[in-house]
Amino acid sequence: MSDDQTATQGGDEARWFTYDIVAEDPGTHARAGVLHTPHGDVPTPIFMPVGTKGTVKGLLPPTLRELGTKILLANTYHLSMRPGEALVEEMGGLHEFMQWHGPILTDSGGFQVFSHGEFTKLTDDGVTFRAVDYDGTYVSWTPEDNMRIAQSLGADICMQLDQCPGYPASRSFVERAVELSSMWAERCYRAHDRRDQALFGIVQGGMHMDLRLRSLRHLEECGDFPGYGIGGYSVGEDHQTMFETLAPLASEYMPREKPRYLMGVGNPTTLVHGVECGIDMFDCVLPTRTARMGSAFSSEGRLNLKNARFTHDHDPLDPGCTCPVCTGGYTRAYIHHLVRQREMAGSILLSMHNVYYLLDLMRRAREAIVRGEYASFVGEWDSLPAARDW
């Protein structure tokens, strides 16, 4: 390698996981930025499609690129269970295993672990759970175990192990979750040593603003995390309840110079208002899951393609959409037929459209922020029938 190549590589590495703010909207707290990673830059605000088990269901990497995907997710819990992090590492890491060579984020798997409910046991040291969705074996994770798995998978960004309390929950239960998540964040930070991977901390605290701020303060004190996830929302509460604490947390208290990632949220209107209060990154299984149920996002609101009213409908899913499905001649009548016949192509076409819909929504949001017109963008969105799809 030449000296010039070495210097260039060193310069690129120095920029990994830095976050540049490109524009801030004067009428809201929205901002446009760029997150730098070893596998490419991520423009924000951004929606991240979810590839839970190493694949976004029904969509191959070339299709994801065609749709405009900049970064996608995979799930640490599921990949550790099958095929196992050791095999993924043997195969060259998650990028090579999936044949997705753009940025990847892996969550901690904590949400999936704690969804096992009565089969989960918590201690200060870690968590023991029964993998009832696999072979029923008992598995124990410490924060150090979780970091070992994440580093073996090799995504560009991984998340700390945390406890995500559902809603409703008692204050004492949420407070304990904050305490555990904070202790585990310190241990994850100490255990994580892979230079080409960023570790994000996670702010917990339920709907209690003081607990949210306690969690954030602890993360800031225990290490220099290059970004922050915001967990514990969209876990049963209504959207008004969520934004009562989310809006001030993001707009007034989160560090300005680091990306803010609202975890597990993918409803279009929530994305629009999340950006308004300063959120940069979102993920959710919603676009592909609803596609498999026969539903499409649209400017008219969500369409249930199982309905007989689409039998003779010559229109595309959304006349204003420029995705490959809507511009490719596929009619509502045809997709209705595929859905009713349970043809795989129906789910694939709807997944393509739904993923594109959210990616394009965030692209247009970014353009509005750069123009300084995001407040108008929100007002126009809220006037659409689609805005009522909470």
Q: What residues are annotated to the active site?
A: 107, 283
Q: Is 111 marked as a binding-site residue? A: yes
CA quadruple 153, 44, 365, 69: dihedral sign: negative
Q: Which of 189, 131, 134 has the alpha carbon at shortest distance from 162?
A: 189
Quote the distance between the C-alpha of residue 345 and its chain's center.
25
Q: Is 162 marked as a binding-site residue? A: yes
Q: Is 109 marked as a binding-site residue? A: yes
Q: Is 107 marked as a binding-site residue? A: yes
Cβ proximity of 386 and 269 under 8 Å: yes
**Alpha helix (H) residue ranges in 121-198:** 143-153, 171-191
Count how many residues are written for the chain: 390
Longest dimension (CA), the chain: 66
Q: Is 315 marked as a binding-site residue? A: no
Q: Is 232 marked as a binding-site residue? A: yes
Q: Which of 378, 384, 380, 358 has the alpha carbon at shortest distance from 290?
A: 358
Element (H, E) at 214: helix 209-222
Measure the CA–CA gap between 342 and 337, rounded to whole angstroms: 8
Q: Is 321 marked as a binding-site residue? A: yes
Element (H, E) at 340: helix 332-340
Per-residue tokens: 135: 């072979």
The annotation places the binding site at: 107-111, 162, 204, 232, 321, 323, 326, 353
The annotation places the binding site for substrate at: 107-111, 162, 204, 232
The annotation places the binding site for Zn(2+) at: 321, 323, 326, 353
